[in-house]
Structure 1
Amino acid sequence: MKNILYILLFFIGSLSAQNEKIFDQANALYNEGKYAEAIDRYEVILNTDKHSAELYFNIANAHYKLNNIAPSVYYYEKALALKPKDKDIQGNLAFANNMRIDAIDNLPEVGLTRFVKKATNTLSFDGWAKLSIGLVVMFVLFYLLYYFTFGTGKKRFYFVTSTLSVVLALVALVFTFYSYSLAQKNNPAIIFAKESKVKSEPNLRSDEAFVLHEGTKVQVLDTVKSWKKIKLNDGKTGWIQGEDLKLLNNI
């Protein structure tokens, strides 16, 4: 059993070292202006299922240099998903989006929906889950202190604190489930076809609703055979051939 483990660790270490070597080779090609060749080397690493924000970022940069709109937007989005606060990724994604033909306005959210979504997005799903657990632990600790304390002042403090902890834990739990629900519904994709005709129904005989071009980001709502129901940021919906887009959530 130990021999198998040593072999596995050696294999993983060798693969990691090989990927680092290929990554350096790809970076050298990029610096020489050989962007297509650099992409080929970066994709060798992708094929080993070793993914990182740095890898996606460099692939996106190479595609951007070649004016490949859809792939550059796609890989910047992949990088941003792993490092959502990275300013370089955000800036380069903005430049890539400026190459797109489609200009789509965001549908404004108002009132309670806007507030709840903004509050939910302050933490990730994991963050809300950990906060919920932490508050439950606080509730148990302060309740035990309340139970075993006899001083009136301290007893009141522990009771109030334990009550507040359990209330906040319930609020955090609600945000946890809501964050999970948003994550489950979030199924973004990038249009890769130069021009794609969006239909009102999932068949070629239906009316054309509108036209999209490469690099546009959409949300996939449903799938019927080879068709994908999509939604734009401005609220428009329609059906598109699955081959015309590429899902961002796929590795």
Structure 2
Amino acid sequence: MKPYLLIFSLLVAFARADANIESANKLYETGKYSEAVAAFNTVLDGGNKSAEVYYNLGNSYFKDKKLGLAILCYEKALKISPRDADIKYNLDFARSFIKETAVADAASKIINAIYYFLTINELCVILSLIFILLMGLIIYRLFKKNELSYWLTFSFSILFGILFVFSSMRIVENENTKTAIVTSASVEAKAAPIESNPASFTIPEGKKLYIINTRQDWVEILLKSENMKGWIKKDTISEI
């Protein structure tokens, strides 16, 4: 394809995507929430998986009284843009409609806020910049062996090591841990993946949980704040 044809095609695609978002926003503003949900999902299917689209889809689901799906979208939006105040506010507001059995203490909230303040991509960029700076300091020290170059090299080596370990922890956690949101009205968790087993406890719609095992149509889940495990049907949740 010729370069100018490629550019023209891209411009048309971007214009069409903007038109779809504008159409979805108008449906939301006029109170047609079900239609807005469908429209925003069409935008996602078209490849625009931005925080803004997930946020607006979450708003549409919330107005359409689908709490679990609304929280799912807010969580996805927050994963992309972890410091967006509007996303955080709406997510917290939606969570207030969930029947929580345990509340995280203030210390846990502060630790989590610090731990997840930066995205993995942002951590990698910072780590790369510190590495480049550290290499520069090492080269500089080969020619200028003074006390200042020693302490700068030592300090940035420690900083690089700490940030490397921290980034590795986040990457491993992201790769190995799957989180999900309950999107059904409520879910009965069982002690084993057997339909005839009695329910051990009930999980409300919108609750965030961690997937630790999968067996056919069942998943073993963990509720961290309550320290409770159980098996539920896979089709009652959606991964973040």
Query: TM-score, normalising length from structure 2?
Result: 0.87
CA distance in 1, matches of 2:154, 2:130: 10
Give the aligned partner of residue 190 of structure 2: 199
CA distance in 2, matches of 1:114, 1:67: 28
Q: Equivalent of 1:223, from 197, 214, 219?
A: 214
Bigger Rg, which one: 1
Give the aligned partner of residue 127 of structure 2: 132
**Range that drifts further, 53-62 or 10-19:** 10-19
Instruction: Please show how residues 101-180 of structure 1 align to structure 2 within 5 Å.
Output: 102-106=99-103, 120-149=115-144, 155-180=146-171
- Equivalent pairs counted in the alignment come to 239
Equivalent residues of 1:139, 1:163 under 8 A apart = no
- Quote the offset at 1:5 in angstroms: 5.2
CA distance in 2, matches of 1:114, 1:35: 33
CA distance in 2, matches of 1:117, 1:178: 14
**Structure 2: which 5+ runs fail to align?**
none
Paired residue type of 2:229: T
User: CA-to-partner distance for each residue in 1:121-162, whole Å, 9 max, x for gaps?
Assistant: 34333333333333333333223322223xxxx612112221
Paired residue type of 1:34: K
- Quote the offset at 1:192 in angstroms: 1.5
Query: TM-score, normalising length from structure 1?
Result: 0.83
**Identity of matched residues, %:** 23
CA distance in 2, matches of 1:88, 1:107: 21
State the SS of the aligned residue for 2:219: strand
Would you identify which runs of 4 or more consecutive aligned residues in structure 1 move more than 6 Å? 113-118
- Alignment CA distance shift 1:133-1:61 (3 Å): closer
Q: Equivalent of 2:34, from 3, 26, 36?
A: 36
CA distance in 2, matches of 1:59, 1:238: 30
Q: CA RMSD in A?
A: 2.6
- Alignment CA distance shift 1:118-1:217 (3 Å): closer
Paired residue type of 2:84: D
CA distance in 2, matches of 1:65, 1:115: 30
**Range that drifts further, 220-229 or 90-99:** 90-99
